[in-house]
A and B are shown apart, each in its own frame.
Chain A
Protein backbone atom coordinates (compact mmCIF):
# COMPACT_ATOMS: atom_id res chain seq x y z
CA UNK A 1 0.00 0.00 0.00
CA UNK A 2 1.29 3.44 -0.83
CA UNK A 3 1.51 6.45 1.45
CA UNK A 4 -1.39 8.89 1.66
CA UNK A 5 -0.98 12.36 0.21
CA UNK A 6 -2.18 14.41 3.17
CA UNK A 7 -1.75 18.06 4.17
CA UNK A 8 0.98 18.39 6.82
CA UNK A 9 -1.43 19.45 9.57
CA UNK A 10 -3.63 16.39 8.94
CA UNK A 11 -0.69 13.98 8.92
CA UNK A 12 0.53 15.59 12.16
CA UNK A 13 -2.82 14.82 13.81
CA UNK A 14 -2.69 11.15 12.80
CA UNK A 15 0.89 10.99 14.07
CA UNK A 16 0.57 12.95 17.29
CA UNK A 17 -2.86 12.64 18.89
CA UNK A 18 -2.60 10.23 21.81
CA UNK A 19 -6.00 8.70 21.22
CA UNK A 20 -8.71 8.57 18.61
CA UNK A 21 -12.34 7.55 18.92
CA UNK A 22 -12.94 4.31 17.02
CA UNK A 23 -16.42 3.40 15.85
CA UNK A 24 -17.49 -0.05 14.77
CA UNK A 25 -21.02 -1.23 14.04
CA UNK A 26 -22.53 -4.46 15.35
CA UNK A 27 -24.89 -6.84 13.55
CA UNK A 28 -27.93 -4.88 14.74
CA UNK A 29 -26.66 -1.65 13.25
CA UNK A 30 -25.67 -0.21 16.62
CA UNK A 31 -22.54 1.93 16.47
CA UNK A 32 -20.11 1.61 19.41
CA UNK A 33 -17.33 4.10 19.97
CA UNK A 34 -14.33 3.65 22.25
CA UNK A 35 -11.06 5.52 22.54
CA UNK A 36 -7.95 3.79 21.22
CA UNK A 37 -4.28 4.49 20.89
CA UNK A 38 -3.49 4.07 17.20
CA UNK A 39 -0.28 3.96 15.17
CA UNK A 40 -0.23 5.75 11.82
CA UNK A 41 2.14 4.06 9.38
CA UNK A 42 3.12 6.89 7.08
CA UNK A 43 4.88 4.56 4.68
CA UNK A 44 1.76 2.54 3.93
CA UNK A 45 -0.98 4.99 4.89
CA UNK A 46 -2.50 2.42 7.24
CA UNK A 47 -3.66 2.97 10.81
CA UNK A 48 -3.18 0.17 13.31
CA UNK A 49 -4.56 -0.40 16.79
CA UNK A 50 -5.31 -3.41 18.96
CA UNK A 51 -7.74 -4.74 21.55
CA UNK A 52 -7.37 -7.31 24.31
CA UNK A 53 -8.93 -10.72 23.67
CA UNK A 54 -10.90 -10.09 26.85
CA UNK A 55 -12.69 -7.16 25.22
CA UNK A 56 -12.87 -8.19 21.56
CA UNK A 57 -16.13 -6.46 20.55
CA UNK A 58 -14.45 -3.84 18.33
CA UNK A 59 -12.56 -6.57 16.51
CA UNK A 60 -15.57 -8.85 16.18
CA UNK A 61 -17.67 -6.00 14.82
CA UNK A 62 -14.96 -5.00 12.34
CA UNK A 63 -14.63 -8.60 11.16
CA UNK A 64 -18.31 -8.74 10.31
CA UNK A 65 -18.56 -5.17 9.03
CA UNK A 66 -15.14 -3.82 8.00
CA UNK A 67 -16.36 -0.26 7.53
CA UNK A 68 -15.05 1.66 10.56
CA UNK A 69 -14.22 5.22 11.50
CA UNK A 70 -11.66 6.93 13.69
CA UNK A 71 -12.22 10.47 14.94
CA UNK A 72 -9.17 12.42 16.08
CA UNK A 73 -10.74 15.15 18.20
CA UNK A 74 -8.86 15.31 21.51
CA UNK A 75 -5.33 16.75 21.26
CA UNK A 76 -4.48 16.31 24.98
CA UNK A 77 -0.77 15.56 25.28
CA UNK A 78 -0.02 16.04 21.57
CA UNK A 79 1.71 19.45 21.89
CA UNK A 80 0.14 20.53 18.59
CA UNK A 81 -0.93 24.16 18.27
CA UNK A 82 -4.52 24.63 17.09
CA UNK A 83 -4.70 21.29 15.30
CA UNK A 84 -7.72 20.26 13.25
CA UNK A 85 -10.09 17.42 14.06
CA UNK A 86 -9.96 14.58 11.56
CA UNK A 87 -12.50 11.85 10.87
CA UNK A 88 -10.98 8.87 9.07
CA UNK A 89 -13.40 6.45 7.44
CA UNK A 90 -11.94 3.27 6.09
CA UNK A 91 -11.88 -0.50 5.73
CA UNK A 92 -10.53 -2.70 8.50
CA UNK A 93 -8.78 -6.04 8.48
CA UNK A 94 -8.61 -8.01 11.70
CA UNK A 95 -6.06 -10.59 12.85
CA UNK A 96 -4.89 -12.04 16.15
CA UNK A 97 -1.45 -10.78 17.10
CA UNK A 98 0.60 -13.96 17.25
CA UNK A 99 3.98 -12.48 16.38
CA UNK A 100 5.82 -9.18 16.65
CA UNK A 101 5.12 -7.57 13.26
CA UNK A 102 6.45 -4.06 12.48
CA UNK A 103 2.99 -2.60 13.19
CA UNK A 104 2.74 -4.36 16.55
CA UNK A 105 6.24 -3.33 17.51
CA UNK A 106 5.61 0.29 16.50
CA UNK A 107 2.30 0.45 18.37
CA UNK A 108 3.86 -1.00 21.53
CA UNK A 109 6.68 1.50 21.36
CA UNK A 110 4.21 4.34 20.90
CA UNK A 111 2.23 3.14 23.92
CA UNK A 112 5.34 3.06 26.10
CA UNK A 113 6.31 6.56 24.95
CA UNK A 114 2.90 8.09 25.54
CA UNK A 115 2.08 6.13 28.67
CA UNK A 116 5.40 5.60 30.47
CA UNK A 117 3.71 3.56 33.21
CA UNK A 118 2.76 0.91 30.65
CA UNK A 119 6.42 0.15 30.00
CA UNK A 120 7.03 -0.44 33.70
CA UNK A 121 3.89 -2.58 33.81
CA UNK A 122 5.15 -4.72 30.91
CA UNK A 123 8.56 -5.11 32.53
CA UNK A 124 7.16 -6.54 35.77
CA UNK A 125 7.05 -10.33 35.96
CA UNK A 126 4.02 -10.18 38.25
CA UNK A 127 2.09 -7.95 35.81
CA UNK A 128 3.01 -10.24 32.95
CA UNK A 129 1.65 -13.25 34.78
CA UNK A 130 -1.56 -11.59 35.94
CA UNK A 131 -2.29 -9.40 32.94
CA UNK A 132 -0.99 -11.38 29.95
CA UNK A 133 -4.60 -11.35 28.68
CA UNK A 134 -4.42 -7.56 28.51
CA UNK A 135 -0.79 -6.87 27.63
CA UNK A 136 0.04 -9.59 25.15
CA UNK A 137 -3.03 -11.52 24.05
CA UNK A 138 -4.41 -9.05 21.60
CA UNK A 139 -6.18 -8.68 18.27
CA UNK A 140 -4.84 -6.23 15.70
CA UNK A 141 -7.06 -4.02 13.55
CA UNK A 142 -5.54 -2.39 10.46
CA UNK A 143 -7.50 0.37 8.77
CA UNK A 144 -7.05 1.51 5.17
CA UNK A 145 -8.42 5.06 4.98
CA UNK A 146 -10.92 5.79 2.22
CA UNK A 147 -12.06 9.27 3.17
CA UNK A 148 -10.85 11.92 5.61
CA UNK A 149 -13.05 14.76 6.87
CA UNK A 150 -11.25 17.73 8.38
CA UNK A 151 -12.48 20.48 10.70
CA UNK A 152 -9.87 23.27 10.98
CA UNK A 153 -9.20 24.27 14.61
CA UNK A 154 -11.51 21.44 15.70
CA UNK A 155 -14.42 23.76 15.02
CA UNK A 156 -17.31 21.41 14.38
CA UNK A 157 -19.69 24.32 13.81
CA UNK A 158 -18.03 24.78 10.41
CA UNK A 159 -18.61 22.74 7.29
CA UNK A 160 -15.61 20.40 7.02
CA UNK A 161 -13.41 19.71 4.03
CA UNK A 162 -13.20 16.19 2.64
CA UNK A 163 -10.14 14.33 1.36
CA UNK A 164 -10.98 11.28 -0.73
CA UNK A 165 -8.24 8.68 -0.91
CA UNK A 166 -7.56 7.76 -4.51
CA UNK A 167 -7.76 4.07 -5.39
CA UNK A 168 -4.10 4.06 -6.36
CA UNK A 169 -3.21 5.29 -2.90
CA UNK A 170 -5.25 2.52 -1.32
CA UNK A 171 -4.09 -0.25 -3.62
CA UNK A 172 -1.41 -2.76 -2.86
CA UNK A 173 1.73 -1.89 -4.77
CA UNK A 174 3.95 -4.76 -3.77
Chain B
Protein backbone atom coordinates (compact mmCIF):
# COMPACT_ATOMS: atom_id res chain seq x y z
CA UNK B 1 0.00 0.00 0.00
CA UNK B 2 1.22 3.48 -0.88
CA UNK B 3 2.26 5.67 2.06
CA UNK B 4 2.11 9.35 1.16
CA UNK B 5 4.23 10.51 4.07
CA UNK B 6 7.01 7.98 3.56
CA UNK B 7 6.88 8.52 -0.21
CA UNK B 8 7.54 12.21 0.40
CA UNK B 9 10.50 11.37 2.64
CA UNK B 10 11.85 8.96 0.02
CA UNK B 11 12.04 11.77 -2.55
CA UNK B 12 14.78 13.38 -0.43
CA UNK B 13 17.27 10.60 -1.14
CA UNK B 14 19.48 11.21 -4.17
CA UNK B 15 19.76 7.47 -4.79
CA UNK B 16 18.38 4.15 -3.56
CA UNK B 17 19.42 0.50 -3.69
CA UNK B 18 17.34 -1.71 -5.98
CA UNK B 19 17.50 -5.46 -5.33
CA UNK B 20 16.16 -8.61 -6.91
CA UNK B 21 16.18 -12.21 -5.73
CA UNK B 22 18.15 -14.09 -8.32
CA UNK B 23 21.07 -13.08 -10.51
CA UNK B 24 23.21 -16.16 -11.12
CA UNK B 25 21.65 -17.95 -8.16
CA UNK B 26 22.09 -15.11 -5.65
CA UNK B 27 20.31 -11.87 -4.84
CA UNK B 28 21.80 -8.75 -6.40
CA UNK B 29 21.60 -4.98 -5.95
CA UNK B 30 22.56 -1.76 -7.68
CA UNK B 31 22.49 1.85 -6.51
CA UNK B 32 20.55 4.18 -8.77
CA UNK B 33 18.44 7.30 -9.01
CA UNK B 34 14.78 6.53 -8.27
CA UNK B 35 11.83 8.84 -8.93
CA UNK B 36 8.64 8.38 -6.94
CA UNK B 37 5.56 9.08 -9.00
CA UNK B 38 2.98 9.85 -6.33
CA UNK B 39 0.12 10.17 -8.82
CA UNK B 40 0.68 6.74 -10.35
CA UNK B 41 2.05 5.32 -7.11
CA UNK B 42 5.03 3.75 -8.81
CA UNK B 43 8.79 4.29 -8.89
CA UNK B 44 10.60 4.97 -12.13
CA UNK B 45 14.31 4.90 -12.88
CA UNK B 46 15.73 7.53 -15.24
CA UNK B 47 18.80 5.42 -15.96
CA UNK B 48 18.62 1.73 -15.18
CA UNK B 49 22.22 0.40 -14.94
CA UNK B 50 23.24 -2.10 -17.63
CA UNK B 51 23.70 -4.74 -14.91
CA UNK B 52 19.99 -4.41 -13.99
CA UNK B 53 18.53 -4.19 -17.49
CA UNK B 54 16.94 -7.62 -17.43
CA UNK B 55 15.54 -7.42 -13.92
CA UNK B 56 11.82 -8.10 -13.57
CA UNK B 57 9.56 -9.53 -10.89
CA UNK B 58 9.74 -9.20 -7.12
CA UNK B 59 12.10 -6.47 -6.00
CA UNK B 60 12.75 -3.99 -3.23
CA UNK B 61 14.15 -0.49 -3.09
CA UNK B 62 16.10 0.58 0.00
CA UNK B 63 16.70 4.17 1.00
CA UNK B 64 19.09 4.77 3.86
CA UNK B 65 21.60 7.29 5.13
CA UNK B 66 23.93 7.97 8.04
CA UNK B 67 26.58 10.53 8.93
CA UNK B 68 30.31 10.02 9.42
CA UNK B 69 29.76 8.93 13.04
CA UNK B 70 27.17 6.39 11.99
CA UNK B 71 24.48 8.53 13.59
CA UNK B 72 21.45 10.20 12.05
CA UNK B 73 20.27 6.84 10.78
CA UNK B 74 17.31 6.81 8.42
CA UNK B 75 16.06 3.82 6.47
CA UNK B 76 13.03 2.48 4.67
CA UNK B 77 12.30 -0.19 2.09
CA UNK B 78 9.71 -0.22 -0.67
CA UNK B 79 8.66 -3.73 -1.63
CA UNK B 80 7.12 -4.35 -5.02
CA UNK B 81 7.28 -5.77 -8.49
CA UNK B 82 9.46 -4.65 -11.37
CA UNK B 83 7.47 -4.53 -14.59
CA UNK B 84 8.08 -3.20 -18.07
CA UNK B 85 5.72 -0.43 -19.10
CA UNK B 86 6.03 1.49 -22.34
CA UNK B 87 9.62 0.42 -22.79
CA UNK B 88 10.68 1.45 -19.28
CA UNK B 89 11.10 -0.59 -16.12
CA UNK B 90 8.86 0.52 -13.26
CA UNK B 91 8.55 -0.60 -9.65
CA UNK B 92 4.95 -1.17 -8.63
CA UNK B 93 5.05 -0.64 -4.88
CA UNK B 94 3.12 -3.03 -2.66
CA UNK B 95 4.41 -1.99 0.76
CA UNK B 96 6.51 0.58 2.60
CA UNK B 97 8.53 -0.89 5.47
CA UNK B 98 10.54 1.04 8.07
CA UNK B 99 13.10 -0.48 10.41
CA UNK B 100 11.65 1.48 13.34
CA UNK B 101 8.15 0.01 12.96
CA UNK B 102 6.69 3.47 12.23
CA UNK B 103 4.55 4.54 9.31
CA UNK B 104 5.29 8.27 9.54
CA UNK B 105 9.07 8.51 9.67
CA UNK B 106 12.13 6.62 8.49
CA UNK B 107 14.32 8.04 11.27
CA UNK B 108 15.87 5.44 13.53
CA UNK B 109 15.45 5.94 17.28
CA UNK B 110 18.06 8.01 19.08
CA UNK B 111 18.60 9.05 22.69
CA UNK B 112 17.86 12.66 21.71
CA UNK B 113 14.30 11.65 20.84
CA UNK B 114 13.05 9.89 23.98
CA UNK B 115 9.53 9.15 22.76
CA UNK B 116 10.83 7.38 19.65
CA UNK B 117 13.35 5.56 21.79
CA UNK B 118 10.63 4.42 24.20
CA UNK B 119 8.46 3.19 21.31
CA UNK B 120 11.43 1.30 19.89
CA UNK B 121 12.19 -0.18 23.31
CA UNK B 122 8.64 -1.46 23.73
CA UNK B 123 8.56 -2.86 20.20
CA UNK B 124 11.95 -4.52 20.54
CA UNK B 125 11.25 -6.08 23.92
CA UNK B 126 7.96 -7.49 22.67
CA UNK B 127 9.58 -8.92 19.53
CA UNK B 128 12.52 -10.34 21.49
CA UNK B 129 10.11 -12.07 23.89
CA UNK B 130 8.34 -13.59 20.86
CA UNK B 131 11.68 -14.89 19.59
CA UNK B 132 12.60 -16.40 22.97
CA UNK B 133 9.17 -17.98 23.29
CA UNK B 134 9.59 -19.70 19.91
CA UNK B 135 13.16 -20.62 20.86
CA UNK B 136 11.74 -22.66 23.73
CA UNK B 137 14.23 -21.62 26.36
CA UNK B 138 15.46 -18.30 27.69
CA UNK B 139 18.61 -16.71 26.36
CA UNK B 140 21.62 -17.70 28.46
CA UNK B 141 23.00 -15.12 30.92
CA UNK B 142 25.05 -12.38 29.28
CA UNK B 143 28.74 -12.30 30.19
CA UNK B 144 28.97 -8.66 31.26
CA UNK B 145 32.45 -9.20 32.73
CA UNK B 146 33.74 -10.06 29.24
CA UNK B 147 31.97 -7.05 27.78
CA UNK B 148 33.53 -4.82 30.45
CA UNK B 149 36.93 -6.25 29.60
CA UNK B 150 36.48 -5.45 25.91
CA UNK B 151 35.24 -1.94 26.63
CA UNK B 152 38.33 -1.31 28.80
CA UNK B 153 40.52 -2.66 26.02
CA UNK B 154 39.24 0.14 23.78
CA UNK B 155 40.44 2.83 26.18
Contacts and interface: CB of A to CB of B under 8 A. Distances in A.
Given A105-B150, A137-B128, A137-B139, A31 B66 contact: no
A63 to B, nearest CB: 13
B64 interface: yes
Contacts of A19: 64, 66, 70
Contacts, number: 175
Contacts of B51: 149, 156, 159-160
A16 interface: no
A168 interface: no
Contacts of A159: 50-51
A49 to B, nearest CB: 14
Interface residues of A, number: 65
A89 B145 CA distance: 37
Interface in B4-55: 17, 19-32, 47, 49-51
Contacts of A30: 21, 58, 60, 79
B154 interface: yes
Nearest to B52: A156
B1 interface: no
Interface in A148-164: 149, 154, 156-160
B91 interface: no
B70 A115 contact: yes
Contacts of B17: 21, 33, 71, 73
A53 B19 contact: no
A7 interface: no
A146 B24 CA distance: 11
B125 A122 contact: no
20 contacts: A19-B66, A21-B19, A23-B19, A31-B19, A31-B20, A32-B79, A33-B60, A34-B64, A35-B62, A35-B64, A67-B25, A68-B26, A71-B31, A76-B67, A109-B154, A118-B70, A119-B151, A147-B26, A156-B30, A159-B50
Given A19-B64, A23-B27, A137-B142, 6 more contacts: A19-B70, A69-B27, A115-B71, A121-B111, A128-B142, A158-B50
Interface of B: 17, 19-32, 47, 49-51, 57-60, 62, 64-71, 75, 77, 79, 97, 99, 111, 121, 123-128, 131-132, 139-140, 142-144, 146-147, 150-151, 154
Interface of A: 18-19, 21, 23-25, 28-35, 37, 52-56, 67-69, 71, 73-74, 76-77, 85, 87, 89-90, 98-100, 105, 108-109, 112, 114-119, 121-123, 128, 130-134, 136-137, 146-147, 149, 154, 156-160
